[in-house]
């Protein structure tokens, strides 16, 4: 079980990460926030927000919760790719 958990942590799905990043970018832009402004709301750097939006980071669920809170949305709205 421990070995399985360790393997799951490192799973990366580029298609999903890119779609998630595009969704975050769209929500950020809808709120007229810059990457810098969102980064400040999340206590993070604009460069990190950019990497998330480009799908370069396998972002944690805790980081996604912070982003959702900063965007003033429910976490589940981040996953509405339609």
Q: In the chain, where are the structural domains located? A: 13-77
36, two tokens: 């810098």
Task: Look up the pTM and report it.
Answer: 0.86
Classify domain 13-77 at the CATH class level. mainly alpha
pLDDT per position as a tens digit, 2-16 = 555 555 566 789 999
Report yes or no: 46 and 35 within 8 Å, Cβ to Cβ: yes
- Please check whether residue 53 is in contact with residue 21, taking contact to mean a CB–CB distance below 8 angstroms: yes
The pLDDT of residue 82: 79
Pair 38, 70: CB distance under 8 Å: yes
């Amino acid at each position: 079980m421990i070995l399985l958990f360790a393997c799951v942590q490192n799973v990366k799905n580029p298609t999903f990460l890119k779609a998630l990043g595009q969704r975050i970018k769209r929500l950020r832009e809808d709120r007229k926030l810059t990457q810098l402004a969102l980064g400040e709301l999340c206590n993070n750097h604009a460069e990190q927000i950019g990497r998330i939006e480009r799908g370069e980071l396998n972002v944690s669920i805790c980081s996604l919760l912070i982003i959702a809170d900063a965007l003033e949305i429910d976490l589940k709205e981040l996953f509405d790719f339609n």
